[in-house]
Structure formats: structure tokens, C-alpha cells
Amino acid sequence: MSSTATALVQTGPDSHEFQEIPLPSLVPGAALLRVEANGICASDIDAYEGHGGGYDPADLTQYPRINGHEIVGVIEDLGEATAAHPGLKVGDRVAVNPWLACGSCEACRRNQAQFCTGMPWRTSCYGFIPTYIGPGLWGGYSTHVYIDPHTVLYHFPQEVSAPDAALWNPLANGIQWAVMDAGVTLGSRVAVLGSGQRGLACIAAAKAAGAGLIIATGLGRDAHKLALAERLGADVVVNVEEEDVVDVAAAATAGAGFDIVIDTSPVAQQPILDGIAMLRKGGTLASAGIKGKPLTAFPLDAVTIKGIRLIGVMGTTHQAQQMAADLIIANTLPLSDLRTHIFGFDQLPLALETLQGRVEGENAINIVVEPRFTANAA
């Protein structure tokens, strides 16, 4: 085994360099993970560009750091066994819960590890912890990651490939937002606005929970996503550039309205307004898409008069991540169809541009970055 890890280290906005970082000694309960795959999402774009997007800018501007928080790999070494990771063995394939949580602060006692305040650094999430905090290997764009004893891991059998296992993170968002937060259950009428990977994950989660009617929306350029939405369980798909989604929703529910609307679309404000119009009285609107600015002409009276429950959804609980892993292992839905691209970590800028839809001819949904060098690096 090598004595160092090769890591793609961000040194500033739009600035990365490869560094060799010594592999750490392992304290009791810790482990060393050989990274196989790392999914990427919009927060990786914000982190790379050096701004906060819809998040606290302080979370995304601490350098140097190794980005990447949707990590899957194989255990290569273990510290002394403790109760933290019972049964963990060298050679196990695991996914890494990105949130490092103390387990005892007020947020942790509420089962909201993503808001933990009890760890000795901020932000306590893999991919956002600077390398000057020992042992430095805190991100997935690296050949190895240090597994802190506080880390929660999800075991995958070897027959589940690492890229497939990497889908557990966006799928966990879908389970958390649609089922655990918004309350999708048997027979629910559900509209998912936006057909990115997390919108599609919400559809898959709603289908698995027994939703009775699912509508999905997208733009004209999202035809490939809407086709996948149908394969994952959507009953109706709407190109919002050609159809009025509020009219389609009224027709689909015979005027009754939806029980739950989940807005996953970034930036656009119209989906929030559409969602309020589409809901039945007493329905729930879950807002997941970061808008980046205040909404104008927000129809607060409609929210009040219809008795709408408006919730913001962010991050995932341990339960949602475990459910996502179990659903991937069960292989009852075509979840692997979400994955459209795999890049080496020397192609990270190209991977991020592809995810943003800036590469002509490439229709991206889920993108995986592997810690390898490619012959045709861009």
C-alpha cells in the first residue's frame, strides 16, 4: 500500500492542484477508505466557483480542501475495533454519510445531523473540511479518504457496483424530502417540479412509497429526463415550455388538486407559484430548489386561505440514507439509468460543465467522478 494519497486539492476559486498527502495513522474506530466513486451535485459547482450559492458562503470558501461529499469506496485499513463500526472489515464496499455529527448536540438529538453544532470544526461535512485539519483527507476527489470514528457508513454487497452505490446520496434526498419530510404515502397525489437527479430521486421515492399519482415537470431540453421520470414511476410528464402545468394538474386530479408538491428547480421562481396553485386545501409544498434571491409577489394570502403547509427541505437523516442504500440493493427500480457520465478526477472542470448542461450534445443527469487519471483529460 502506498504511503500517500493523491488528492485533487482546491486552493481557491476555480483553482485546483494535485497533491500527495500522507496516509494517516488510525485512531480506534477510524478507517481508511480507498475511493472508488464520488457523485457530484450543484453544491460542487458552487464550491468549485468559490461562492455559496444558496448556502452560507463560509461553508464553501475554506481553502485548501478536497471537495467531494458523495463518497463510495472500499475499506483498506482499520484502526482498533470499537462500537462505532461493528462488523466492518477490510475489503467492505461502503458509502459515506457526509455529515460528521457529535450525536449529543440539540440538532443531533432532533435527528438532524446535517445541522450538528457539536463537532470541533465547521462545516462538519466531508468535502468541506480544510486539509489543514488533520489528517486532511476529507473529500472524495482523492484516492483515499479518512473515516472519522463519528462517520456513519452504509454497506453494499460486492455485486452492487461502486457507480451504482454512489446513487445512494441523491436517492436519499428524494426519500427524505418526499417521504419523510413532505409525507408521501399510499395513494398520495404528488407533483415534482424539476427533473434533475434529485427531482427524479423524489419520483423514485414517491413511487416506492405507494403514491397514487405522480406528475413530473421539465423544460424542452429535458426530454431525456422526462423519459426517465416515466420509467421511474411518473404518470404524467409536462414540458412547461409547451403546456401550463397548473392546467395539466387540474385535469389530472379532476380539479381536486395535489396532496404534495415538491419544488426541486433551481433559480426559477414560477414553480413555487405554480405549486401553490396546484395544491389542494391543506396540501404540502416542499421547497428544495435554491432560488438565490427573494421571491417577488409571493401569494401569502393563498397559502393562508388554502391552509398550505410550506416547508424547506435540506439534507438527509441517517434513516433516509439507509433506506436509499436498501432500495439500490433491492434493484426494484431502474435507478442506474440516472447515471449518464463517469469522469476521472483530472477532468473535474469538464464534469462540472457537463452537469451544468454547457457541453453540447451531452445530456447529463447523474455524474460520477473516479480518482483516476484519464488519457484524454480535458
Q: Any idea where the domains of the chain sit in the sequence?
A: 4-166+334-370, 174-312
In which band, very low, low, confident or very high, does the pLDDT at 286 lie, cut at 50, 70 and 90?
A: very high
* Segment 167-183 mean pLDDT: 97
Residue 314 burial class via C-beta count within 10 angstroms: exposed 0-12, middle 13-18, buried 19 and up: middle
pLDDT score of 59: 55
Q: Which residue has the higher pLDDT, 12 or 54?
A: 12
pLDDT score of 61: 60
pLDDT score of 196: 94
Rounded CA separation 324/178 (Å): 13
Q: What is the pLDDT of residues 312-327, one digit of tens each?
A: 998 898 999 999 999 9
Q: Which CATH class is domain 4-166+334-370?
A: alpha beta
Torsion sign, CA atoms 260, 366, 360, 15: positive
Q: What is the pLDDT of residues 184-205, one digit of tens each?
A: 999 999 999 999 999 999 999 9
Helices (H), the chain: 42-49, 57-60, 106-109, 162-165, 168-174, 197-208, 223-232, 245-252, 270-278, 300-306, 318-330, 348-355
Decide: 286 and 117 in contact? Cβ < 8 Å: no
Reference 273, options 234, 310, 238, 243; nearest CA is 310
* Segment 231-260 mean pLDDT: 97
Decide: 32 and 151 in contact? Cβ < 8 Å: no
Decide: 36 and 369 in contact? Cβ < 8 Å: no
Q: What is the pLDDT of residues 48-77, one digit of tens each?
A: 888 754 445 555 568 899 999 999 999 999
The rounded Cα 319 to chain-centroid distance in angstroms is: 15
pLDDT score of 54: 45
**What architecture (CATH level 2) is domain 174-312?**
3-Layer(aba) Sandwich (3.40)
